[in-house]
Amino acid sequence: MPSATQTAAKPAAKLFEFQSQLPKLPVPALSETLPKYLRSVEPLLSKEEFAKTKKIVEEFGQSAQGRELQKRLEARAAEPGRANWLEEWWNDLSYMGYRDPVTPYVSYFYSYKDDKLRRKPTQRAAAIVRAAWAFRALVASEKLAPEMARTTPLCSHSYKYMFNATRIPKKPSDYEATYSLDSNTHITVARNNQFFNLDLVHNGQLLSAAEIEQQLDRIVERADSTAAVPVGVLTADNRDLWADNYQQLVESSPQNAQTLEKLQSSAFVLCLDDTKPVTREETHRVFWHGNGSNRWFDKSLQFIVCDNAKAGFLAEHSSMDGTPTCRLNDYVLDQTLNNKVDLGSTTVRSDLPEPEPLRFVTPPKVVRSIEQAADRFNKTVGQHQLRVLQYEAFGKDEIKKLGISPDAFVQMAIQLAYYKLYGRSRATYEAAATRKFLHGRTETCRSVSNESVAFCKLFETPTASPQDKVAALQAAVKAHGAYAKACSEGKGVDRHLLGLRLVLKPGEEKPGIFQDPAYANSCHWFLSTSQLSSEHFEGWGFSEVVPDGYGIAYTIRKDALIFHIAAMKNDFGLNSDHLAHYIKEAATEMRATILAAKLAAGPKL
């Protein structure tokens, strides 16, 4: 029975309670977006280039075509029954219609802190499964409280694609399939490139952690005693090739269709890897892409546990951004690392059925396709370099004491590091959430500004005083904060301009603003960055988005900053090690400069 205090308390809001109240994503006025766009491209252009771009943009803003495109976009946003004017376009262009492999190019991962209570891998895996299942129950019952930005509720729509969901390959565009949470109480377990079906409910009762552990031990013993054709690597391939091979797989045998259905309808995948990563780079690579075969990369959620009990998580990005999965994983780790998780009875029932192997029929043509997919996977991941920087000099607490937003501090450290390495500033993407709007996802926060460039130049000027450097840093941070706030209000530049491009009809002339090289250059993300933070993470990561750029995922903990710096090995001469060196140098210099300026100012009266 609840206590009197609990009964009298205001009931917690349910997951979808505020959905009907959320505002729709706005269409900013041209008079808002175009000046903001010009300010964002100015630091990337010469004076002559900017003068030309300014003329083109102003002409577009005053043109009949500009007004017509804006009118069409506003009409689309106002259509009855349309939740979000951007949603279908964005999901197709950025995810479902994107044909490069989801790993390493789309999916993202989290690396967990070690669980000192559970050193045996299947024991840790069992605890993770129980904790994840508890979170799933909150989602299924809708008792999970909606996320809030202070007092503003955020859209919960993406939680529908968290559990029992998968991406399915199809030409020209993939699609998302979801399955009943009530009638699909099984998970898929991967071991030694084989898949097993494990139902977590037996005779109406959820398996305890001890029972899950025993079932996982059975799976490991069975999988390690046999070999199988690594069908999972097909999911790591180019999406068109995978779509063809998917059909080939289905047509090869009715059993394959049944196996796929069982795998795709599972709540999530648990990958038991036979690796024992030690270094941060080794662990990040395991969770980022692994061997390509002990995964089903289309599944929304994959929890990964290695043979030394290192653990992590991999998310398929198409229908879910990072904040919901960060919440899920923070919950799982809080429950397991702090021993809060309900493990159930220690008694193992004697009548538990053997886990069911999920077998594929693989005739020679399928085997050839798998071998070719494996070759392409190995080539792709082999073309990537990675450096993980664990910066432990200070973290969020110290940055706040310096009087600066932690995220803005890190963004400026990245800007300064890139400037130190290349002697210039280039277009930078930072993901900003727009989930205060119905079905909102992200907007691009353009991190490079006139102020950030001035800050970089001044910090690299030996004769500049600490006070002048700090003033430049504060101006850059202020500009960054203003742009980030506008993005969260749905008033960034990139999504609006994308919408104006997409309402063009076939045969209509492309406006000059989109033919201007400045537009393409300002969207060529030499630095693609994003922050997701948990005190329980040892970092997280994703890939670069252009061949001559870096992907930088960072975690801001109370006492540390963790950077996952990915790039390709190619003719552009990128160097993740060197960029990591300069990020460390930049962060150290920024703190030292702020402290020097405070010291020079003397004690406050």
Known catalytic residues are: 317
Within 229-273, strands assigned E span 269-272
Contact 536, 333 (CB under 8 A): yes
Q: How far apart are CA 581 and CA 31, in angstroms?
A: 42
End-to-end CA gap in the chain: 57
The full 3-state SS of 424-473, as one line of letters, equals CCCCEEEEEECCCCCCCCEEEEECCCHHHHHHHHHHCCCCCCHHHHHHHH
Would strands 152-153 and 561-568 be described as parallel, antiparallel, or unpaired?
unpaired
Short-list 519, 548, 553, 517, CA closest to 538:
553
Q: Are 432 and 487 in contact (CB under 8 A)?
A: yes
Query: For residues 558 and 400, is the Cβ–Cβ distance under 8 A?
Result: no
Nearest in space to 281 (alpha carbons), one of 430, 417, 384, 410: 384
Give the number of C-alpha atoms closer than 13 A to the C-alpha of residue 603, restricted to the C-beta side.
1
**Do residues 480 and 529 touch, judged by C-beta distance below 8 A?**
no
Distance of CA 20 to the CA centre of its chain: 26
**3-state SS class at 186:** strand
Question: How far is 564 from 550, CA to CA, in rounded Å?
Answer: 10
- If one counts every other C-beta atom within 10 angstroms of the C-beta of residue 23, the result is 10
Q: Under 8 Å CB-to-CB from 602, ≥6 apart: which residues?
A: none
**Residue 398, SS3?**
helix
Closest by CA to 409, choosing from 458, 487, 477, is: 477
Residue among 228, 550, 164 at smallest CA distance from 389: 550
What is the C-alpha separation between 163 and 267, in angstroms, rounded?
5
**Which is it for the CA torsion 381, 384, 385, 386, positive or negative?**
negative
Cα angle 534, 427, 400 (rounded to 5 degrees) comes to 35
Phi, psi of 10 (to 5 degrees): -65, 130
